[in-house]
Chain A
Amino acid sequence: MAKTLFDKIWEQHVVDSIPDGPDVLYIDRHFIHEVTSPQAFAGLNSRGINVFRPERVFATADHNVPTIDQHLPIQEKLSRLQVEKLTENCKAHGIQLFHLTHKHHGIVHIIGPELGITQPGQTIVCGDSHTATHGAFGTMAFGIGTSEVEMVLASQCLMQYKPKKMRITVDGKLGQGVVSKDVILYIISTLGAGGGTGYFVEYAGSTFRNMSMEARMTVCNMSIEMGARGGLIAPDEKTFEYLKGRLYAPQGADYDRQVPNWKELFTDPDAVFDKELEIRAEDIPPMITYGTNPGMGIPVDQPIPSRAGEEKALEYMGLKKGEMLLDKTVNYVFIGSCTNARIEDFRAVAGLVKGKQKAENIRAYLIPGSKLVEKQIDDEGLRLVLEEAGFEIRQPGCSACLGMNDDKVPKGEYCVSTSNRNFEGRQGPESRTILASPLTAAATAINGKITDIRNLV
Chain B
Amino acid sequence: MEKFKTITSTAVPLPAENIDTDQIIPARFLKATDRERFGDNLFRDWRYDEKDQPKGDFVLNDDKYQGSILIAGKNFGSGSSREHAAWALVDYGFRVVVSSFFADIFTNNALNNGLLPVQVSGEFLSMILEKTISNPQEQVLVNLDDQEIKLLSSGASAHFEINSYKKQCLQNGYDNLDYLVNILDKVTRYEELTQKP
Chain A interface (Cβ < 8 Å from any Cβ of B):
12, 15-16, 18, 20-22, 24, 26, 28, 35-36, 38-39, 42-43, 47, 49, 52, 63-64, 78-79, 81-82, 85, 127-129, 143-148, 150-151, 154-157, 159, 161, 163, 193-194, 197-198, 224, 227, 229, 250, 254, 258, 292-293, 309, 312, 402-404, 411, 421, 423-426, 429-430
Contacts and interface: CB of A to CB of B under 8 A. Distances in A.
A247 to B, nearest CB: 15
B43 to A, nearest CB: 11
A423 B83 contact: no
Contact of A38 (B33, B78, B166, B181): B33
A154 B101 CA distance: 31
Contacts of B45: 424-425, 429-430
Given A15-B183, A145-B82, A424-B45, 20 more contacts: A28-B196, A36-B81, A36-B82, A36-B83, A38-B33, A82-B31, A145-B109, A154-B177, A154-B180, A159-B179, A197-B104, A198-B104, A292-B18, A402-B22, A404-B27, A423-B79, A425-B22, A425-B23, A429-B50, A430-B50
Contacts, number: 180
A143 B77 CA distance: 14
Given A22-B165, A143-B81, A145-B112, A155 B104 contact: no
B9 interface: no
Q: Of A52, A155, A163, A250, which is in contact with the most chain B CB atoms at under 10 Å from its CB?
A: A155
B103 A194 contact: yes
A298 B18 CA distance: 19
B113 A147 contact: yes
Contact of A194 (B101, B163, B194, B197): B101
Interface string B156-194: 000000011110000000011101110110110011001
Contacts of B16: 312
A198 B103 CA distance: 8
Contacts of A16: 183, 186
Q: For chain A, what secondary structure do more than half of its interface residues adopt (helix, strand, loop), or is it mixed? A: loop
B20 interface: yes
A197 B31 contact: no
B30 interface: yes
6 contacts: A39-B83, A85-B33, A145-B109, A197-B102, A403-B28, A429-B50
Interface of B: 16-18, 20, 22-23, 26-28, 30-35, 45, 50, 74-75, 78-84, 86, 101-105, 108-109, 112-113, 163-166, 175-177, 179-181, 183-184, 186-187, 190-191, 194, 196-197
B31 A145 contact: no
Given A78-B32, A161-B163, A293-B78, A155 B183 contact: yes
Nearest to A421: B79
A43 B190 CA distance: 26
B103 A197 contact: yes
Contacts of B191: 26
Contacts of B75: 193-194, 197, 227
A151 B180 contact: yes
Contacts of A227: 75, 78, 103-104
B31 A250 contact: no
Q: Of B16, B22, B186, which is in contact with the most chain A CB atoms at under 10 Å from its CB?
A: B22
Contact of B81 (A81, A144, A309, A430): A144
A443 to B, nearest CB: 28
Contacts of A129: 79-81, 105
Contacts of A411: 50
A157 B82 CA distance: 20
Given A148-B112, A426-B22, A78 B180 contact: no
Nearest to B80: A129
Q: Of B16, B31, B164, which is in contact with the most chain A CB atoms at under 10 Å from its CB?
A: B31
A145 B85 CA distance: 10
A20 B165 contact: yes
Nearest to B179: A159
A425 B164 CA distance: 38
A211 to B, nearest CB: 25
B33 A423 contact: no
B186 A403 contact: no
B33 A81 contact: yes
